[in-house]
Amino acid sequence: MATKYNMQAEKTPIAEQDPVVRASNFDEVALGYTLEEAINEANRCIQCPKKPCVSGCPVGVPIPEFMKELAEGNVARAYAIVRAANTLPAICGRVCPQETQCEGVCTRGRKGDPVGIGRLERFVADWALDNPEEAAAALAAYTQETEEGQEYTAQKLSQYKVALIGSGPASLTCAGELAKRGVKVTVFEALHAVGGVLVYGIPEFRLPKDLVAREVAAITDLGVTFEMDAVVGKLYTIEELREEQGFDAIFIGTGAGLPMYLGIEGEALNGVMVANELLTRVNLMKAFRFPEYHTPVYAGKKCVVVGGGNVAMDAARTAKRLGADVTIVYRRSMTEMPAREEEIHHAEEEGIHFNILTNPVRALGNDEGWIEGLECVRMELGEPDESGRRRPVEIEGSNFVIDCDMLVVAIGSRTNPLIGNTTEGLEVTKRGPIVVDEATGATSLPGVFAGGDVATGAATVILAMGAGKAAAKGIVDYLLQD
């Protein structure tokens, strides 16, 4: 069989909202492929025998098989292949750092662009959300064909109850995997919406919230129960969940929600906030629709965002949409910036300014205690540090002030200590994360598992999902050994 691959060197372009228009709305930036575009792009996969993309994927999506089906126009089948390995494909297609994972190792990428795997994952997932019945049938048929699928049906795990704490990507994945095997799953969420960072952190224009709700609905359909407004560690302890509520195992996926501060003078001035505050107000509480939604958000005219990660980009682009002129201040150079290339590119397109090799020294306030400027110092790059990146060093006497009436601190977050503090015997590292066996998610307490940012410190959605998937296997093994 001589399939003709599409040898076009560039990725098939994806339609996007015009940068000028989108910089003042919260609608999604990328608009997605048409069926023709998707088939054209899927045909760029040359079905290379080594499949580096599969090992590049934390949840092991069999990418070439999915490409093959899609190239032939079998969208339902392509979706089933993705969905069987990935509980949240519409989300991953949008927020995964494909350039450092599947696409980063794609054979086509050696000469020209890699295959647009993320865009295609998004395409099949969006198709499934619009065609739920056909999608469910295709998934059921595909699952029955696989060895793993048959194993699920054979296992009788419905006598077990497992509690998952937090409803972010790690827990949602773990929930989906356990429910597929018949386990009775209850997810406890502290906030009023399911999704964790997917709903409070990542903005609407990058990940529409109705889409998160639809992927969550698919997990609910598997029989997973969600208990909202439940702060574990306060309302129930881990011990109570096990002893009083009879859960056979627990998974902790509470993420890294605790903000870090710059520790500079003036950080408590009015108009200064951490990215979590800005993003939670806008994303979770819908402050961009104030006063119809009652939560307000402060937006200045001139905003500085400190940090170079994805959260910094999200904060900058959010402030821009609220009407501010935004400058990102980052202490290293563009090359070291941890944010995804696409996010940096989108931010630049939207008119965000970048002030690199710059570090804040103190925030200056006016008589009423509102911020009016950020004193910074210029940096230069020295020898590489333990992260392998060149260490930024202050250039003495290079201090200068950036005028601003809003400052957003986006320099990372730490794990929430609540469960660690209220669970005796749970081993936690000095810096906060819970100690786990990476392969199984097992913690120092038998029957208690953890994964995602709460175990690794702040990382990505897909790594959390990989950990949730691994922990589901670990939990099943634990339940069966009893």
Partner 1 sequence: MYPIVETEALSSAAHKLVVSAPAIAKKVLPGQFIMLRIDEEGERIPLTVNDSDPEAGTITLIFQPVGATTMQLETMKAGEALLDVVGPLGNPTELEGATRACVIGGGLGAAIAYPQAKWLHEHGISVDVIVGFRSKDIIILEDEFKAVADNLIIMTDDGSNGNQGFVNVGLQKQIDAGVDYDLVLAIGPVIMMKTVAEVTRPLGIKTLVSLNPIMIDGTGMCGGCRVKVGGEYKHACVDGPDFDGHQVDYDEVMRRNRQFTTQEAQARDHVCKLGR
Applying CB under 8 A, the residues found at the interface with partner 1 are 190-192, 200, 228-231, 234-236, 257-259, 261, 267-268, 270-271, 273-274, 276-277, 280-281, 284-286, 290-298, 368-369, 416, 418
One-letter amino acid of 475: I
Dist CA 312 CA 83 (whole Å): 30
Q: For the residues of 317-360, what is the DSSP string, one character each?
A: HHHHHTT-EEEEE-SS-GGG--S-HHHHHHHHHTT-EEE-SEEE
- Closest CB to partner 1 among 139 and 241? 241
Q: How far is the CB of 218 from partner 1 (least distance, A)?
A: 22
Say whether 364 sits in a helix, a strand or coil. strand
Dist CA 372 CA 414 (whole Å): 29
* CA atoms lying within 13 Å on the CB side of residue 332: 20
Q: How far is the CB of 95 from partner 1 (least distance, A)?
A: 19
- Closest CB to partner 1 among 58 and 360? 360
Q: How far is the CB of 151 from partner 1 (least distance, A)?
A: 37
Nearest to 407 by CA among 332, 301, 248, 482: 301
Q: Give exposure, 9-40, as e/b (b: 16+ Cβ within 10 Å).
A: eebbebeeeeeeebbeebebbbebbeeebbbe
Q: For the residues of 225-288, what is the DSSP string, one character each?
A: EEE-S--BTTTB-HHHHHHTS--SEEEE-----EE-----BTTTSBTEEEHHHHHIIIIIS-GG
- Closest CB to partner 1 among 158 and 245? 245
- Closest CB to partner 1 among 177 and 189? 189
Sequence-separated (6 or more) residues with CB below 8 Å from residue 151: none
- Closest CB to partner 1 among 300 and 474? 300
- Closest CB to partner 1 among 60 and 369? 369
Q: How far is the CB of 285 from partner 1 (least distance, A)?
A: 7
Q: Phi/psi at 161 (nearest 5 deg)?
A: -120, 130
What does DSSP assign to residue 435? P
Q: How far is the CB of 192 from partner 1 (least distance, A)?
A: 5
- Closest CB to partner 1 among 178 and 272? 272
- Closest CB to partner 1 among 76 and 252? 252
Q: How far is the CB of 272 from partner 1 (least distance, A)?
A: 10
Q: How far is the CB of 146 from partner 1 (least distance, A)?
A: 39
Q: How far is the CB of 289 from partner 1 (least distance, A)?
A: 8
